[in-house]
Amino acid sequence: MTERRAITVQGVVQGVGFRPFVFGLAARLGLAGSVKNRTGGVVVEVEGDPQSLDRFLIDLESASPPLAQIHEVRWERQATRGESRFRIDSSEPGATGAIFIAPDVATCDACLAELFDPANRRYRYPFLNCTNCGPRLTIVQSAPYDRERTTMSGFAMCRACRAEYDDPADRRFHAQPTACPLCGPQLALLDHRGEPIAAADPLICFAAALGRGEIGAIKGLGGYHLACAASSASAVGALRVRKHRDEKPFAVMVADLAAARELCEIDVAEQALLLSPRRPIVLLRKRTGAGLAESVAPRNPYLGVMLPYTPLHHLLLRSVGRIPLVMTSGNRQDEPIAHEDADAVARLAGIASLLLTHNRPIHVRCEDSVTRIVGERELPLRRSRGYAPLPIDLPHECPCPTLAVGGQLKGSFALGQGRHAFLSHHLGDLDHYEAYRAFERDIALYRQLFAVQPESIAHDLHPDYASTRFARVYSSEHGTPLVAVQHHHAHMASVMAEHGLTEPVIAVTFDGTGYGTDGAIWGGEFLAGDYGSFRRAAHLRYAGMPGGDQAIREPWRMAAAHLLDAHCGLDLLSGRVSEVELRAVETMLARGLNTPLTSSAGRLFDAVAALAGVRDRVTFEGQAAMELEWLAMTAPASGCYAFELSASQKQDDTHRTLLIDTRPMIQDVASDALLRTEPAIIARRFHTTMVELIVATCVRIRERTRLDVIVLSGGVFMNALLAAEVCARLASQRFRVYTHHRVPPNDGGLCLGQLAVAASRLTQG
């Protein structure tokens, strides 16, 4: 007896070797039929005996290629056709349904072996790839994923490549970006003006320049990197000057795991991340005397390390003699990465003395992802290459296609369609004009790639965020309704969505800045609620930010604000800051001039960092708080400062907001500092205090609300010491605690939360 079944598979099944896998499976089970890509997935028709068809359905899901992500399999019976063989049909564009695009995948072991095999026809060819590896998102121009709809369409396959592409037994069977030295992209070397340099081997020439201490720009998967020898203090110093990047740490690329071990301590979980096909930058503990220039990551106990993820990177790292290379995004400061050739030359020519480029266009820019291990699990810090645009499932279906535009810093957006949230790559800080332009362009690009026409837009409550302005303009041009989501509510919903939580929770959202419903700057918040709504259950006491944003760049100002608030006087700061500045800030605070109020936990860390003598000024956001964390890690736990919880004056007991008075703590810190207590001890005691303050507040909120599920979010929870201790202490109080593992706790994860809130509110009408 023969039967025929039509099977549709939804999910990330294009560009991951899924059709060849289906072909092989059908062949093994002796089934006839066909497989083809179609928008949103793959359609398989199989004909044969029912037992084999059942087996086929089981193996289709359980034995699928490692990079595939199946979201749904559906099948129905069809009339048999008496076919005798199985074939791969050409794609069927235009069908409806969600579109899934695979992220870029690091060079696989089989390709790597060929790259360094002198007998192979692709020996040392910088663009080799196969069905299991190579560029994906960055070269896709539209769906379904086929060569003619990628930036490889301009390269006609040679006979040998075509034969592999057509051979079901070959590992390049339907590998869309496949190429060889005869038919594929080629390297080119340009000088600092963008003029071609004749070189027998551009790569060797480029590597030699890096070896001499020069700065080069190199075109990778999702954009250009700036590269130099990480061992050369003068090269790294020059890069910092030219890139206008004072102290923010650089990441390095090393040849392989052994080279990474020479620089850093690596545990099992970290090793798995380093070697994963996503190949993110992993934050690792630096070894002392590792032979790196101190200026790569100044005073930093951690180092961002990544392994090569393209054949070009593998070749480069070998050509430079396996020395670690600084590899930083090709841009100035926090602009988005340069990815178009002409633009890259214009923007990077003043920084790099030569450019190693090639003629495979990058269609979608994509920066390196940054991640770390905390408590044996991944904590993403920047979700981009290798991860984007994989969907995260929403707890509620979006009733209509929705765009969530994120925040202002660490820009990213998300498209919601049905249960899926497609999160964009990282876009940088939107206050940079270049970043805002990229934001606009990439939203248009994703709308086209995913064929999604948003019918509602979720945005932050902050009226002056560039993303909010974009949402308003888009809304007035397209008549699309807006959903405004409070910043910390979005943080809270992002953790909930990651874990599919549907019950009400207590959220501890600690960050630098978020616009509050009372117009103040929030950032030390305890919310109680769900996706639809929240109540501000508790918050840190407000303090002034003398000079507004200037107080972010100058933590001593926050120290002054907290000292005066706690009636401590400014003696601690005199001698470190000019008398004129001190008096000016004192006046501002006394009269409330240009001094917005904030409950920000990030600013409290800044203030204590200044009080402990860590630093008075920063060159990038969060620097003082980070250095305070590192210092705290060097000291044993030794006591806790005082703090007080008090209820605000509202009648209804269940709706009173708790106020966390940090003045007793500031008084303790100030007296410790006056007694010349070790800064590390102060830092440690402060961390312990923050942990205890969070636990005590959560316990009080539970007493009133009976809620015992806690989510932790906000940039402050990138602090591993704080996060680990808070989790442990809350667990010991029998709370269920959830943290981020798939999106960053910082504002890069906001768009997911905005989508989840919008989906809930739109559903409730």
Binding site for Zn ion (CB under 5 A): 108, 111, 130, 132-133, 158, 161, 180, 182-183
Instruction: Give least dist CB 503 to Fe ion, A.
Output: 24
Question: What is the Cα–Cα distance from 432 to 245, expressed in whole angstroms?
Answer: 15
Minimum CB distance to Fe ion smaller for 282 or for 543: 543
Binding partner of 747, given Fe ion, Zn ion, none, CB within 5-8 angstroms per partner class: Fe ion
Instruction: Give least dist CB 594 to Fe ion, A.
Output: 22
Instruction: Give least dist CB 314 to Zn ion, A.
Output: 12
Binding partner of 635, given Zn ion, Fe ion, none, CB within 5-8 angstroms per partner class: none
Measured over the CA atoms of residue 34, residue 36, residue 41 and residue 43, the dihedral's sign is negative
> What is the enclosing helix (H) or strand (E) of 74?
strand 69-78
Minimum CB distance to Zn ion smaller for 156 or for 647: 156
- Would you say 281 and 370 are in contact if contact means Cβ atoms under 8 Å apart? yes
Residues in the chain: 765
Q: Which residue is nearest to Fe ion (CB)?
A: 511
Question: What is the Cα–Cα distance from 442 to 636, expressed in whole angstroms?
Answer: 47
Give the C-alpha distances (Å, rounded to integers) separating 427 from 299, 412, 413, 431, 661: 27, 6, 9, 11, 37
Binding partner of 666, given Fe ion, Zn ion, none, CB within 5-8 angstroms per partner class: none
Binding partner of 130, given Zn ion, Fe ion, none, CB within 5-8 angstroms per partner class: Zn ion
Minimum CB distance to Fe ion smaller for 278 or for 603: 603
Residue 520: CB atoms within 10 A of its CB come to 15
Binding partner of 601, given Zn ion, Fe ion, none, CB within 5-8 angstroms per partner class: none
Minimum CB distance to Fe ion smaller for 104 or for 511: 511
Minimum CB distance to Fe ion smaller for 449 or for 461: 461
Instruction: Give least dist CB 131 to Fe ion, A.
Output: 40
Minimum CB distance to Zn ion smaller for 104 or for 668: 104
DSSP 134: B
Extended beta strands in 215-360, E state: 216-219, 224-229, 251-253, 264-265, 281-286, 302-306, 325-329, 354-358
Instruction: Give least dist CB 170 to Zn ion, A.
Output: 12
Binding partner of 238, given Fe ion, Zn ion, none, CB within 5-8 angstroms per partner class: none
- Would you say 77 and 4 are in contact if contact means Cβ atoms under 8 Å apart? yes
Query: Per the structure block, which two tokens stand in for 728?
Result: 């442990």
Instruction: Give least dist CB 153 to Zn ion, A.
Output: 15
Minimum CB distance to Zn ion smaller for 182 or for 272: 182
- Would you say 83 and 26 are in contact if contact means Cβ atoms under 8 Å apart? no
Instruction: Give least dist CB 632 to Zn ion, A.
Output: 44
Q: What are the beta bridge partners of residue 507?
A: 527, 711
Binding partner of 682, given Fe ion, Zn ion, none, CB within 5-8 angstroms per partner class: none
Instruction: Give least dist CB 120 to Fe ion, A.
Output: 49
Phi and psi based region of residue 489 (left: phi greater than 0; alpha: psi -120 to 50; beta: remaining): alpha
Binding partner of 627, given Fe ion, Zn ion, none, CB within 5-8 angstroms per partner class: none
Instruction: Give least dist CB 749 to Fe ion, A.
Output: 9
DSSP 13: -
- Would you say 144 and 93 are in contact if contact means Cβ atoms under 8 Å apart? yes
Binding partner of 182, given Zn ion, Fe ion, none, CB within 5-8 angstroms per partner class: Zn ion
Comparing CA positions, the residue from 498, 489, 600 lying closest to residue 555 is 600
Identity of the amino acid at 83: E
Instruction: Give least dist CB 166 to Zn ion, A.
Output: 13
Instruction: Give least dist CB 553 to Fe ion, A.
Output: 18
Query: Per the structure block, which two tokens stand in for 401?
Result: 């296609």
Query: Per the structure block, which two tokens stand in for 161?
Result: 């490549």
Binding partner of 253, given Fe ion, Zn ion, none, CB within 5-8 angstroms per partner class: none
Instruction: Give least dist CB 693 to Fe ion, A.
Output: 19
Minimum CB distance to Zn ion smaller for 52 or for 120: 120
Buried b / exposed e across 665-681, counting CB within 10 Å, b at 16+? Answer: bbbbbbebbeeeeebbb
Minimum CB distance to Fe ion smaller for 280 or for 514: 514
Binding partner of 511, given Zn ion, Fe ion, none, CB within 5-8 angstroms per partner class: Fe ion
Cis status of the peptide bond prior to 280, with omega within 30 of 0 = no
Instruction: Give least dist CB 715 to Fe ion, A.
Output: 6
Binding partner of 546, given Fe ion, Zn ion, none, CB within 5-8 angstroms per partner class: none
Minimum CB distance to Fe ion smaller for 142 or for 598: 598
Minimum CB distance to Zn ion smaller for 130 or for 682: 130
Binding partner of 275, given Fe ion, Zn ion, none, CB within 5-8 angstroms per partner class: none
Minimum CB distance to Fe ion smaller for 44 or for 490: 490
Q: For residue 365, what are the contacts with CB-CB under 8 A and spacing of at least 6? A: 138, 222, 223, 336, 337, 339, 425, 438, 442
Instruction: Give least dist CB 207 to Fe ion, A.
Output: 41
Q: For residue 762, what are the contacts with CB-CB under 8 A and spacing of at least 6? A: 398, 399, 400, 402, 456, 483
Binding partner of 108, given Zn ion, Fe ion, none, CB within 5-8 angstroms per partner class: Zn ion
State CA 327 to chain mean position distance: 17
Minimum CB distance to Zn ion smaller for 135 or for 679: 135
Measured over the CA atoms of residue 343, residue 349, residue 351 and residue 352, the dihedral's sign is positive
Minimum CB distance to Fe ion smaller for 335 or for 747: 747
Residue tagged 């060929």 (tokens): 114
Binding partner of 180, given Fe ion, Zn ion, none, CB within 5-8 angstroms per partner class: Zn ion
Minimum CB distance to Fe ion smaller for 137 or for 458: 458
Question: What is the Cα–Cα distance from 263 to 288, expressed in whole angstroms?
Answer: 8
Q: For residue 421, what are the contacts with CB-CB under 8 A and spacing of at least 6? A: 391, 392, 393, 394, 404, 414, 415, 497, 751, 752, 755, 756
Binding partner of 588, given Zn ion, Fe ion, none, CB within 5-8 angstroms per partner class: none
Comparing CA positions, the residue from 690, 699, 707 lying closest to residue 732 is 699
DSSP string, 478-546: HT--EEEE-HHHHHHHHHHHHHT--S-EEEEEEEEEEE-TTSSEEEEEEEEE-SS-EEEEEEEPPEE-T
Instruction: Give least dist CB 513 to Fe ion, A.
Output: 7
Instruction: Give least dist CB 427 to Fe ion, A.
Output: 16
- H helices of 621-706, in order, are 623-633, 663-674, 679-705
* Pairing between β-strand 281-286 and β-strand 302-306 as defined by DSSP bridges: antiparallel
Minimum CB distance to Zn ion smaller for 183 or for 635: 183
Instruction: Give least dist CB 162 to Zn ion, A.
Output: 8
3-state SS, 291-315, equals CCCHHHCCCCCEEEEECCCCHHHHH
Minimum CB distance to Fe ion smaller for 315 or for 716: 716
Q: Where along the sequence are the contacts to Fe ion (CB under 5 A)?
A: 511, 514, 747
Binding partner of 590, given Fe ion, Zn ion, none, CB within 5-8 angstroms per partner class: none
